[in-house]
Structure 1
Amino acid sequence: MHYVEASTLGAPVTSAAKPRVYAWLVFALTFGLLLSDYMSRQVLNAVFPLLKAEWGLSDTQLGSLSGIVALLVGLLTFPLSVLADRWGRVRSIILMATLWTLATLACGVATGYGQMFVARFFVGLGEAAYGSVGVAVIISIFPAHLRSTLTGAFMAGGAFGSVVGMAMGGVLATRLGWRWAFVAMAIFGAALLLLYALTVTERRLREHSTVTQPSRDSRPGFSMSLRALFSGLFSTTSVICAYIGSGLQLFIMAAVIAWMPSYLNRYYAMTPDKAGVTAAAFVLIGAMGMVVCGIVTDRLCRQMPARKMAMAIVYCLVTAILLGVAFQLPPGLNQLVMIGLGMFLAAGTSGPAGAMVANLTPTPIHASAFATLTLANNLLGLAPGPLLTGVLADHIGLLGAFKLIPMMGIFAAVAFWIGRHHYGSDLSRIQHASGAAAH
């Protein structure tokens, strides 16, 4: 039996089948701020070798500087996203971008591990809810059938930002000193922030929303009470499995992104600038994979929702195999090719997981729903990935740590496999309940 995915869980949509020009402008600016977000976050990885040499830091300390940002994103994304749903998503985005930009500038003037850790703390505080709030803004003004594509493309902005942050960071750090790498990221973020504030407003978003005003603001049968909020976020087995599977799979992506410059520096004898650019190429491959996997998932699963879980399972298992083989090979071209193939699929679950979360949660709490997804992504993947890899590297070497990391894809596949058996029935039940509430 086939189920057709709901567009907004009981909320009627406008007749516009194609997104408007303003929608794409909002997407571009929101995507641009996500680039700034991850450029500010990942530039640190490019200067790991320089900080290690200048301050005498251990791999565990270096991992903590990267992991603290993801940890704060994981801990704070949910409460801050709930506040953004109520206070205003655009105002929240402007406030968050201001904070992470200033904190990135503070990283550039830090004089030791303690000051750098504090500055990175505030980078994480500013970035905590941006991904969830940003994607909620985007899906509110686009047709529902584009959700896997848009979610995958938007989340790929994190990988693209990591590419630019590591590549530019490595080059600037080598030529001008590591401090200028952080300063450059702060300048870029400030420019984008100004453009966003002048272009995007709550009023214009309401005018271009694909959801009709009455439904968007006051969906029948739905309230913003705490009980209703948690009921909407965790109402089905499949959505919980989507949260868990997505987080476990991103453990791999986070670990490789954070430590690839150091891996290339140690095992391929690359200088920081060359290692940063080369590592950025792998992240770029991962970003392209996120977009392609999102598009492919939308194409194959439009009339068969359960396939989304099946596609996610395939992405997880193939990633585990490819990267598992890659790090058993000796350093060289063959290993780099296998790493590239694995990275192409490493975050391919982002689009399917985001679409499933959107389809299984009420429209008024989409920012909170994506915050929950971000919470899982960070607490299960993005935060522990770099930190645990650093701990393992201190004991068994970075190569030894990389040999173990791909196994996380197997656990992610199990979570999606469990969700697959419930997704079709969960989606049908929720649509039926939404229709009954509307009447």
Structure 2
Amino acid sequence: MITAATGDAENACIDSHVSRPRAWFAFAMIFLLMMSDYIDRQIIVSLFPHLKAEWGLSDKQLGGLVSVISVVVAVGSIPVALLADRFGRVKSIFIMSSIWSMATIACMFSRSYGQLFAARAVVGVGETGYGSVGAALIGALFPKRQHATLLGAFFAASSVGAVLGVVLGGLIAEHWGWRAAFGAVGFPGLIMALLFLLVPDYKNVIVRMSPKLGPSGAKAVVSRLLSTLSRGPTMVLLCVAGSFQMMVVSAMWSWMPSFFNRYHGMPPAMAAKYAGVLVLCGAFGALFWGWVADRVSRRHAANKLLLLCATTVATAVLFIFAFTAALAPSTQYIAILLGGSMMTCTVGVSVSVVLDVTHPGLRSTGAAVHACAINLFGLAVGPFVGGVISDLWSLNTALAAIPAVGFLSAAFYWKASRSYEADMKTVAAMVREEPEAQSTPNAWAPAAVVPASS
């Protein structure tokens, strides 16, 4: 059993010594670094035409330059979040942002596809865990009633960053070459990393695992960790649902500049601008749908997940219509923008639910489990599968087929809505219970949660 030293599941991770101005300063810095994260991650997509022309790369290879970051982020997200939960989120984020910024700068010195691929992998090493740790910091510094809205805004920063990355990459490459684009966005990230050291950290509650006379090893440890994180199926269902929807988001973000370049004859810089508007619509959508979710769930928490069922279906219908119907270019673009405004509907809402069904002492880790799933099975899959389908048939076919997974996303969000409220109550009860079972030597249980200053 688990108890928090504060005795309050709602406030166990909130540092009462952090003033509102300092909390909002923290949010501003978290937001800006999320922008930097996605500027560095997505700048590559506006450079696809230049790389294809210079090195003769296939669409599968180009998609791999995007997917490799998501794979690395997925693999490292849980270990990094565990370390951040134990040793401090602010210091961890400073290290992460420094690494991804320096790796982005290194991309400008690449002389082959292999070198660029390796540098992009190191960008992923730096970005590992940032979304989950940043979300946990927001969850601790602000009241629960604001979580979906603020997390929607936080993840909307990824869309804003992606817009800036795509647009800036296209403009800089047009005037100074694609190598200069990496340097232009890498150095500001280093400055923001240093400023992040001024952000207040919160006093966490650390979950210590008591030993058990019985099976041990990596599998047993992982099993105990997951049972400590949450009880019930909601978290797993959210990971599956979010992964399907992120396939759609990553495919659209990665391939829209190339779509406008190939099918509408736009120069790379102009194609990047048109694609940037799509991503900007996604930023608005993440914030707007988070705000809507906070309001529809005031009486019944599960309503926020039912909202996602509707929005993921609408996203799939709009994109399939846009890429299969015989439409005028302007009409097609409007349909694409409408789909773009809905496709990011899940990002803030889904993470807010994960935090609700995760023990307060392991919020970074709980968010990291979700981030691991959506990166490995969603963000990494979309660009690569899009490239494979494009090589086999056409890019238009890829962009019409991938959104269909949104129907699967809706089904899993509906399933999660059935267990969400019960799992949330179970986690709250876990925090309040006294650790009576710890006196029984043959029963494993996490030890009492104790406060520790980061």
Aligned to 1:258: 254
Q: Does 1:284 align with 2:295?
A: no
Distance 1:116 1:25 in 2: 35
Q: Secondary structure at the match of 1:217?
A: strand
Is residue 364 from structure 1 mapped to residue 366 from structure 2 by the alignment?
no
How far has the Cα of 1:87 moved from its partner?
2.2
Question: Is the counterpart of residue 189 in structure 1 residue 186 in structure 2?
Answer: no
Would you say 1:223 and 2:219 are equivalent positions? no
* Aligned-partner Cα distance in 2 for 1:177–1:101: 19
- Rounded to whole Å, the distance in 1 between the matches of 2:142 and 2:391 is 47
Q: Which residue of 2 aligns with 1:149?
A: 149
Structure 1 position 14, deviation (Å)? 7.0
In structure 1, the residue matched to 2:105 is 105
Partner of 2:446: none
**More displaced 10-residue stretch of structure 1: 382-391 or 136-145:** 136-145
Once structures 1 and 2 are overlaid, which stretch shifts more, 96-105 or 230-239? 230-239
Identity of matched residues, %: 36
Deviation of the 1:84 alpha carbon = 1.5
CA contact (8 A) 2:152 2:290 kept: yes
1:210 maps to none
Aligned partner letter, 2:280 = L
Query: Which residue number in structure 2 is paired with residue 294 of structure 1?
Result: 290
1:236-265 C-alpha deviation (Å, 9 max, x unpaired) = 111211121112111100000000000000
Q: Is the 8 A contact 1:60 1:387 kept in 2?
A: yes
Cα pair 1:10 1:434 within 8 Å, conserved: no
For residue 91 of structure 1, report the CA deviation from its aligned partner.
Answer: 1.2
Aligned residue in 2 for 1:121? 121
Deviation at 1:315, TM superposition (A): 1.3
| CA apart distance, 1:367 | 0.6
Report whether the alignment pairs 1:239 with 2:235. yes
Measured against aligned partners, the alpha-carbon deviations of 1:343-362 in whole angstroms (never above 9, x if no partner) come to 11101011221111011001
Deviation at 1:8, TM superposition (A): 7.2
Between the aligned partners of 1:387 and 1:300, the Cα distance in structure 2 is 36
Give unpaired runs (5+ residues) of structure 1: 1-6, 207-212
8 Å contact kept, 1:267–1:331: no
The within-5 A match list for 1:35-434 is: 35-197=35-197, 199-200=198-199, 204-206=200-202, 216-217=204-205, 222-224=207-209, 226=221, 228-329=224-325, 330=327, 332-434=329-431
Give the letter aligned to residue 183 of structure 1: G
- Provide TM-score, normalisation by structure 1: 0.91
The total of aligned residue pairs comes to 417
SS of 1:327's equivalent in the other structure is helix
* CA separation of 1:389 and 1:69: change in aligned 2, threshold 3 A: same
- Paired residue type of 2:65: L
State the one-letter code of the partner of 2:51.
L
Determine helix, strand or coil for the equivalent of 2:300: coil
Q: Give secondary structure in 2 for the equivalent of 1:348.
A: coil
Secondary structure class of the residue paired with 2:208:
coil
Structure 1 residue 9: Cα displacement: 3.4
Structure 1 segments of 4 or more deviating over 6 A? Answer: 13-16
The TM-score, its normalising length taken from structure 2, stands at: 0.88
Find the aligned partners of 2:98 and 2:189 in 1 and give their Cα distance.
8
Over the residues paired in the alignment, what is the CA RMSD in angstroms? 2.0
Structure-to-structure mapping, 1:20-31, within 5 angstroms:
20-31=20-31
SS at match of 1:140: helix
Structure 2: gaps of 5 or more residues:
1-6, 211-220, 437-454
Cα distance in 2 for partners of 1:438, 1:150 equals 34
How far has the Cα of 1:233 moved from its partner?
Answer: 3.0
How has the CA–CA distance of structure 1 residues 129 and 13 changed in structure 2, closer, same or farther, with 3 Å as cutoff? closer
Contact 1:9 1:361 in 2 (8 A): no
Offset of residue 11 of structure 1: 4.3
**8 A Cα contact 1:10 1:435, kept in partner:** no
Q: In structure 2, how many angstroms separate the alpha carbons of the residues matched to 1:120 and 1:60?
A: 15
Aligned residue in 2 for 1:209 = none
